[in-house]
Amino acid sequence: MEEQNKGENKKESSLKQGFFKKVWYSITKIEKYPDMAAEGVGRTIGYLAKLVAVFSIVFCLGMMYQTYNMIQEGVTYLKNEFPEFSYQDGVLTVDSEKEIVISEDDSFVGRTIIDTKVEDEQKINQYINTITESGEGLIILKDRVLIKNGAVAGTITYYYKDTFEPMGLNTFSKQDVIQYATSSKVISLYVTLFLTIFIYAFTMYFLTTLSDAVLLSFFGYITTLLAKIRMRYAAIFNMSVYALTLSIILNLLYVAVNIFIPFEMEYFQVMYVAVATIYLIAAILILKTEFVKKQFELMKIAEVQEIVKKEMEEKERKDKEEQEKEEQKKKDEEEEKKEKDKEEKGNGGEPEGSNA
């Protein structure tokens, strides 16, 4: 018994310690979901945070790769074609009377729209719709840049002031940018940009994934009611997080491939939700099967116990009858002996010579 308990404790601790083992179990061993869910909501949230962190790192590396290529192409474009511009205290000014549009074919990051004079939000929304239709791109305004990436819903916004002030950049010109981009100092820009993108991507994707887990857990709760399984909501939520693992990894691969081969997969979000839902339902059905199996085993045990009980009662009844027979037999023998002794005593008490 002690060896069995030690084995179970060892098994439980291995589940608690291994992040990559949990990832593997979440994809290949659905029957492990109840064991992992039993660890508590805190450990499950920690697992989700690690998974999202891995996703965010890959996303940031992809953005850095795109940023590096964009800077190299941008330097060439600035030198030869782009008009003069200047930046001061969070405001970018480009010497152009109308917006500058760079097509997808001429830009590594998709369609790029530059307009530092626009003030109308409606016009800005038109720009956003334009790059959304093309799948990805940039909108460079006087105080911020909007980035649209095919792997992320919506647009990512970076304000110049928030990005440049920590670097000590309050003013620069076109020539300053060209000199900076071709020097070793640009590494600090990559580091700052990486940290900024990581924090933003981690926060947004963590909240999005958490909301997906909550919605999925409500569906799972309804499924348990239909399957007539009594489960705590916390356990269903934990299993929902593990059920999202493969969907998150598929999304990660989608983002990684998009870095080198930009494309848009139709109905990817539908597949994202469908895969997680299938995993969760499978885990609940496995629990249902185990529950029915245990109930069947308990019924068999109860039947065996009932049979054993009847056999014991029958044996006790027979033993009691045998005992009563033995006692009756003894009583009969004693009575017979008493009668015999009485007869012998009666015969032995006759006077001598009575026969004469």
Work out the angle at residue 19's Cα, subtended by the Cα atoms of residues 206 and 257, and round it to the nearest 5 degrees: 60
Q: What is the DSSP letter of 154?
A: S
Could you tell me if residue 260 is inside a domain?
yes
Structural tokens at position 340: 């015999």
Model confidence band, residue 160 (pLDDT cutoffs 50, 70, 90): confident
User: Looking at the predicted structure, is the pLDDT value of residue 238 above 80?
Assistant: yes
Residue 276 resides in a domain: yes
* pTM, full prediction: 0.59
151 in a structural domain: no
User: Domain of 257?
Assistant: 13-81+197-333
For residue 338, being part of any structural domain is answered with no
Q: Where are the beta strands (DSSP E) in the chain?
A: 85-88, 91-94, 100-102, 111-114, 137-140, 144-148, 155-159, 171-173
* In-domain check, residue 173: no
Tell whether the torsion through CA atoms of 111, 116, 118 and 122 is positive or negative: positive
Has residue 194 got a pLDDT over 70? Answer: yes
Number of helices and strands (H, E) in the chain? 11, 8
Cα distances (angstroms) measured from residue 218 to each of 21, 236, 305: 26, 8, 41
The answer to whether residue 266 is domain-embedded is yes
Number of domains in the chain: 1
Task: Tell me, yes or no, whether 343 lies in a domain.
Answer: no
Please report whether residue 106 resides in a domain: no
Unique residue bearing structure tokens 């990005």: 163
Kindly report, residue by residue over 287-336, the tens digit of the pLDDT. 877 766 665 555 666 666 677 777 777 777 777 777 777 777 777 777 77
Q: What is the mean pLDDT of residues 150-158?
A: 73
Q: Mind listing the pLDDT tens digit for each residue in 176-191?
A: 888 878 888 788 878 8
How many whole angstroms separate alpha carbon 238 and alpha carbon 41? Answer: 6
Structural contact between residues 75 and 82, judged by C-beta atoms closer than 8 angstroms = no
Please report the pLDDT score of residue 4 as a whole number. Answer: 47
CA atoms lying within 13 Å on the CB side of residue 9: 6
